[in-house]
């Protein structure tokens, strides 16, 4: 299974990155703790999040669900979206079209 998309890939990654930033402990995906994450420069955190977005896109191409920290990602093929649950109260929907 592969993710089908028609939007420019960079736009999808930008939106997916913003959604991942809302996951309070997304840094745990990198096996970091809050202190290590906080010690990074903003530019370094941005690179990590962008890399995570790219990795999650790849993972969702072979698995319908993935986790990042306490967040959950799901590829909804029928709607051509990726749902990012950052918290019970916050769900981002990233359109692939």
* Tokens read off for 43: 């530019």
Neighbours of 80 (CB within 10 A): 16
Backbone dihedral angles phi then psi of residue 83, each to the nearest 5 degrees: -100, 130
Share of the chain above pLDDT 90, in %: 97
| Residue 75: inside a domain | yes
| Residue 35: inside a domain | yes
Q: Which residue, 63, 83, 81, is CA-closest to 1?
A: 63
| Residue 82: inside a domain | yes
Number of domains the chain is built from: 1
Q: pLDDT grade, residue 2 (50/70/90)?
A: confident
pLDDT digits (tens, 9 = 90+) for 56-75: 999 999 999 999 999 999 99
Q: What is the mean pLDDT of residues 31-41?
A: 94
| Residue 86: inside a domain | yes
| Residue 1: inside a domain | no
**Residue 1 pLDDT greater than 70, yes or no:** no
| Mean of the per-residue pLDDT values of the chain | 95
| Residue 63: inside a domain | yes
Residue 37: give the domain boundaries.
9-95
Residues 6 or more apart whose Cβ sits within 8 Å of residue 82? 3, 12, 16, 57, 60, 73, 74, 75, 76, 93, 94, 96
């Amino acid at each position: 299974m592969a993710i089908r998309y028609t939007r420019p890939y960079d736009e999808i990654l930008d939106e997916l990155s913003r959604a991942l930033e809302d996951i309070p402990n997304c840094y745990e995906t990198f096996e970091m703790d809050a202190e290590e994450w906080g010690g990074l420069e903003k530019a370094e955190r941005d690179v990590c999040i962008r890399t995570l977005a790219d990795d999650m896109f790849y993972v969702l191409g072979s698995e319908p669900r993935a986790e990042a920290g306490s967040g959950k990602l799901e590829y909804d093929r029928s709607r051509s979206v990726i749902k990012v649950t950052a918290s019970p109260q916050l769900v981002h929907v990233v359109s692939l079209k």
